[in-house]
Chain A
Amino acid sequence: MVGNEWNQLSPMNVDPRQRTRLLAALYLAQEQFGWLSEEAIERVSERLTLLPGQVRSTASFYSMFKLEPQGEFQIQVCEGLSCYLAGGAEPIIDHLSNLLGIQPGETTPDGKFTLEVVQCIAACGSAPALRVNDMLYEHMTLESIEQLINSLREGEW
């Protein structure tokens, strides 16, 4: 990149409020592309007049921005203290691992499910809790998890 172009992209010439839109723009790109590929990051940086490095820097900091392809259903199981005390965490993670045939951090070969272990999701009063994409599921049991997975598999979500 040479002189003029760099100047154009310099954050010094951009209203700082422009970058405030970055998190929202990353959510939109993630919804459109399924994950934040290099292409998605380039597109966001062009639209907001930011450097790709600035966009990547922000995207890589937050756990809800995914820099790798994800399953159609992202299952996030809480392993926090309150979920653990309510009988959640490992028993639920292991159960889901068996049901889906994948380890935490992996995606099923058919691209349907990604299993993720997360920290507290502010549902301690209704633990054990998990999230599927943006939906919160509370008071989970091994049985209700099995039903949930079956209904997701059959597309009855």
Chain B
Amino acid sequence: MNARNLSSSSAFQPVLTRNIHRPGSERISIYLDHGGYQAVRKALAMKPEEVIEQVKQSGLRGRGGAGFPAGIKWGFMPQDSKLPKIVAVNTDEGEPGTFKDREIVEQDPHQVIEGVLIAAYAVGATRAYVYIRGEFFLGVKRWIKAIADAYEYGFLGEDILGSGFNLDMSVHRGAGAYICGEETAMLESLEGKRGLPRQKPPYPTTAGLYGLPTLVQNIETLACIPHIIERGPEWFSSIGTAESKGPKIYSVSGHVNRPGNYELPMGISLSEIIYEHAGGIPDGHKLKAVIPGGVSTPMLPADQVEVPMAFETLSSIGSEFGTGAIIVMDETTCMVEATRRISKFFAHESCGKCTPCRIGSQRIFEILDRIEKGLGHPGDIELLLELVNGIDGYTFCPMGSGLVNPVRSAIQHFRAEFEYHITNKHCLVKA
């Protein structure tokens, strides 16, 4: 496959994770010793609009799941507004299968602080809020220290590096709600409220935190920024495919010999990640299915794993790139049980604002639970499909479709297994 050759990982050197295996990688001294805070000096010598232009040219797309082009989002921030502007960092990583942000937040906070500095300078923001998932206690502690150190070294506060640019930053700990990874729900949570998504538009760049123009970006997206400024947008856009550029941290879990985070180019094939980097499938078992981008993305059957990991290639085969969190399932996996477990997550995490998601997710879980227990009825599959059709597109935020994707794709690719469960009252795989 051409795309595979183009994005061969053999010559690729990790960028975002290059420091994380150094002892004390979270400390400002280690970051400075390895070239840290040089990109921000370069950016501060440029005009803000030049910085935005470079991010646009790099082709960087958001790493939090939606894949929106970062430079275009930065361009949406109003330039003539008298209102104070804000950058909000999204580290509410909660999508099952995803554990890349935890690594960045714990091991290399200064790389992100530098990215935030550059972003804030480019869009004219003077205040940055870092929202970290409540469970990441170690990460929160390290960020409190990292921010204090950045102030001490003059990278935060007033007149940063003598440029006249000011930025204040604070860290905020979430408290256990998947929905707060959705950007408007995160803003509600930052305002001290229940994390319910807001209607869009207005988008946060127009009216975000406290109604002020707010740039919300995922932490991995911001970690890319210093490297784009330092090495140039051409370097970044030389990695990857036509529409998906740069390095990417893939979280690999499930039935593989070496689960973990792997920083590799965008566009590398799913099979190369599974078999070469993650060490293949244990115990000589065969591959059955893969979730390519976290549980809210449609699953793929084994014969589709040659797909390049890129936004456009995954959409072309009916799936999504999501967060690049790969969950591998071998032939011993019961797809009814896997889908039941995913639906339980969504039923538990629905914020309750939209009826289709709140009630639909609960009903879908109940139906999958009874099929799994051997109590399914004929017609249950049609009922599941009717329920997902009733959620898809009828909710405020993308969390609703997050459940639609796994249920629909599991039935599409493994319908016979669901039918067997219903007819024979037990599992096809674990019979």
Residues of chain A having any CB pair with chain B under 8 Å: 16-24, 26-27, 57-58, 61-65, 79-82, 84-86, 89, 119-127, 131, 134-136
Question: CB-CB < 8 A to A65: which residues of B?
Answer: 175-176
Contact of A127 among B98, B178, B253, B345 (CB under 8 A): B253
The answer to whether B177 touches A22 (Cβ under 8 A) is no
The answer to whether A124 touches B175 (Cβ under 8 A) is no
The answer to whether B96 touches A124 (Cβ under 8 A) is yes
B406 CB to nearest A CB, Å: 9
| Interface-central residue, A57, A61, A64, A89, by most chain B CB under 10 Å | A61
The answer to whether A19 touches B191 (Cβ under 8 A) is yes
Instruction: Count CB-based A-B contacts (< 8 Å).
Output: 135
Question: CB-CB < 8 A to B295: which residues of A?
Answer: 81
Docked pose: A22 CA to B175 CA in angstroms: 11
Residues of chain B having any CB pair with chain A under 8 Å: 93-99, 101-102, 133-138, 172-178, 189-195, 210, 251-255, 259-261, 291, 295, 325, 327-329, 333, 337-338, 341-342, 344-345, 348-349, 351
B190 CB to nearest A CB, Å: 6
The answer to whether A82 touches B175 (Cβ under 8 A) is no
Question: CB-CB < 8 A to B136: which residues of A?
Answer: 122
Q: List 22 A-B contacts (CB under 8 A).
A: A19-B192, A61-B194, A61-B351, A62-B176, A64-B175, A79-B344, A81-B96, A81-B295, A84-B337, A85-B255, A85-B328, A86-B254, A86-B259, A119-B345, A120-B98, A122-B101, A122-B135, A124-B327, A125-B251, A126-B260, A127-B259, A134-B137
Contact of B348 among A16, A24, A62, A119 (CB under 8 A): A119
Docked pose: A119 CA to B181 CA in angstroms: 15
Contact of A20 among B138, B190, B325, B342 (CB under 8 A): B190
For the complex with contacts A119-B94, A122-B93, A131-B135, 15 further pairs of A-B residues with Cβ separation under 8 Å are: A16-B210, A19-B192, A20-B191, A23-B173, A23-B192, A26-B175, A64-B175, A65-B176, A80-B97, A81-B295, A81-B338, A122-B98, A122-B102, A122-B135, A125-B253
User: Which residue of B has the minimal Cβ distance to A131?
Assistant: B135
Docked pose: A82 CA to B295 CA in angstroms: 10
Docked pose: A20 CA to B255 CA in angstroms: 41
The answer to whether B193 touches A82 (Cβ under 8 A) is no
| Interface-central residue, A27, A119, A127, by most chain B CB under 10 Å | A119
The answer to whether B134 touches A124 (Cβ under 8 A) is no
Docked pose: A64 CA to B133 CA in angstroms: 11
The answer to whether A19 touches B193 (Cβ under 8 A) is yes
Question: CB-CB < 8 A to A124: which residues of B?
Answer: 96-99, 251, 253-254, 259, 325, 327
Question: CB-CB < 8 A to B254: which residues of A?
Answer: 81-82, 85-86, 124
A63 CB to nearest B CB, Å: 4
Question: CB-CB < 8 A to A122: which residues of B?
Answer: 93-94, 98-99, 101-102, 133, 135-136
The answer to whether B260 touches A125 (Cβ under 8 A) is yes
Q: A64-B176, A120-B97 are in contact. Are A85 and B253 (CB under 8 A)?
A: yes
Question: CB-CB < 8 A to A80: which residues of B?
Answer: 96-97, 341, 345
A52 CB to nearest B CB, Å: 14
The answer to whether B175 touches A27 (Cβ under 8 A) is yes
Docked pose: A62 CA to B173 CA in angstroms: 12
Docked pose: A16 CA to B188 CA in angstroms: 11
The answer to whether A81 touches B341 (Cβ under 8 A) is yes
The answer to whether B261 touches A125 (Cβ under 8 A) is yes
Question: CB-CB < 8 A to A82: which residues of B?
Answer: 96-97, 253-254, 259, 327
Docked pose: A119 CA to B341 CA in angstroms: 10
The answer to whether A61 touches B177 (Cβ under 8 A) is yes
The answer to whether B96 touches A58 (Cβ under 8 A) is no
